[in-house]
């Protein structure tokens, strides 16, 4: 680059940015979608009701750990817990998504305007990246990976339960309804999102210096790398998937809709 070109690149931009396209559309959509999701999940989790419509359990309440659950997955919290059971587990997906590398980019751009788009200046004057509190805490993402995997395992257990329908005589019968497919799709999407995590990629072999000494880990790393390329997509569709799965179970439990039973 010539020195003239460098001067042209560095010259101050008079009105914040010279971009004339709709660069603000993406941050606006992120604010609307993420904001709506946060409002809906907060309401659904604090409600503490309508999260189970046999044999379906809302993913916002899984695993259900307290004795006051409508459908207990793992009874490790006694009757002393009287608040909504969702509060016992919500910190896992919240912590995992909030510290996710992709979501960080999305909400830094849209909520903090840091920066809102390429070639658009930051809203804040100073820039310290993630070197100071509280953003320094984003480094704990890798530790959230493990409880997030546990939650996904429980969600697959819920899918198995979603094939077991209660009968009039008090037993259970094998069957499949639309809710079964909804929970199955949700678990699959959350699995893709979780296993395509940057930390999962590192864990499988990202730290290796010589792949030829670990061919199995190389194959695994290669698969996760392919999935990791679509991590942003999985982040969004799993977000919609989990909200829709909760909504489906909630509407069933409230008696607003009827499940479609295939057999």
Residues lying near ligand FES in the complex (CB under 6 A) are found at 96, 100-102, 141, 197-199, 231
Burial zone of 164 (CB within 10 Å; 0-12 exposed, 13-18 middle, 19+ buried): middle
Number of C-beta neighbours around residue 90 at 10 A = 17
Q: Please give the backbone phi and psi of residue 66, each rounded to the nearest 5 degrees, phi first.
A: -100, 155
| Least separation in angstroms between CB 21 and ligand FES | 28
| Least separation in angstroms between CB 225 and ligand FES | 13
CB 38 within 8 A of CB 60: no
Between 100 and 184, CB nearer to ligand FES: 100
- The closest of 85, 54, 56, 55 to 68, measured between CA atoms, is 85
| Least separation in angstroms between CB 198 and ligand FES | 4
| Least separation in angstroms between CB 224 and ligand FES | 11
Cα–Cα distance measured from residue 232 to residue 228, given in angstroms and rounded to the nearest whole number: 8
Between 240 and 262, CB nearer to ligand FES: 240
Residue 195: both structure tokens together:
């296993």
CB 86 within 8 A of CB 70: no
| Least separation in angstroms between CB 145 and ligand FES | 7
Contacts of 263 (CB under 8 A, 6+ apart): 175, 176
Between 101 and 113, CB nearer to ligand FES: 101
- Residue 55: alpha-carbon gap to chain centroid: 24
Residue 57 is inside which H or E element, if any?
strand 56-57
Between 100 and 159, CB nearer to ligand FES: 100
Where do the H-state alpha helices sit in 123-261? 141-161, 178-195, 198-201, 215-228, 231-253
Residue 56 is inside which H or E element, if any?
strand 56-57
Between 111 and 163, CB nearer to ligand FES: 111
Cα–Cα distance measured from residue 58 to residue 102, given in angstroms and rounded to the nearest whole number: 25
| Least separation in angstroms between CB 186 and ligand FES | 16
| Least separation in angstroms between CB 231 and ligand FES | 6
- The closest of 29, 38, 41 to 245, measured between CA atoms, is 41
Between 139 and 167, CB nearer to ligand FES: 139
Between 61 and 199, CB nearer to ligand FES: 199
């Amino acid at each position: 680059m010539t020195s003239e070109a460098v001067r042209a690149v560095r010259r101050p931009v008079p009105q914040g940015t010279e971009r004339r396209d709709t660069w603000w559309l993406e941050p606006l959509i992120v604010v609307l979608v993420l904001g709506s999701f946060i409002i809906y999940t907060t309401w659904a989790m604090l409600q503490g009701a309508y999260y189970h419509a046999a044999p379906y359990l809302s993913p916002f309440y899984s695993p259900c750990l307290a004795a006051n659950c409508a459908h207990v997955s793992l009874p490790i919290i006694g009757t002393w817990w009287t608040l909504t059971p969702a509060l016992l587990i919500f910190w896992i997906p919240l912590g995992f998504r909030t510290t996710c590398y992709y979501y960080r980019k999305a909400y830094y751009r849209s909520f903090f305007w840091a920066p809102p788009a390429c070639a658009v200046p930051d809203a804040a004057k100073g820039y310290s990246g993630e070197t100071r509190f509280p953003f320094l805490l984003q480094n704990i993402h890798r530790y959230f990976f493990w409880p997030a995997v546990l939650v996904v395992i429980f969600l697959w257990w819920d899918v198995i339960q979603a094939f077991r329908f209660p009968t009039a005589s008090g037993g259970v019968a094998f069957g499949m309804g639309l809710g079964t497919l909804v929970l199955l799709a949700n678990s699959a999407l959350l699995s893709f999102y979780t296993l395509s995590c940057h930390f999962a990629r590192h864990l499988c072999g990202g730290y290796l210096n010589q792949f030829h000494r670990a061919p199995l880990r190389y194959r695994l790393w290669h698969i996760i790398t392919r999935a990791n390329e679509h991590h942003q997509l999985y982040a969004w569709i799993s977000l919609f998937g989990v909200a829709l799965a909760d909504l489906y179970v909630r509407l069933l439990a409230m008696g607003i809709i009827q499940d479609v039973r295939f057999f």
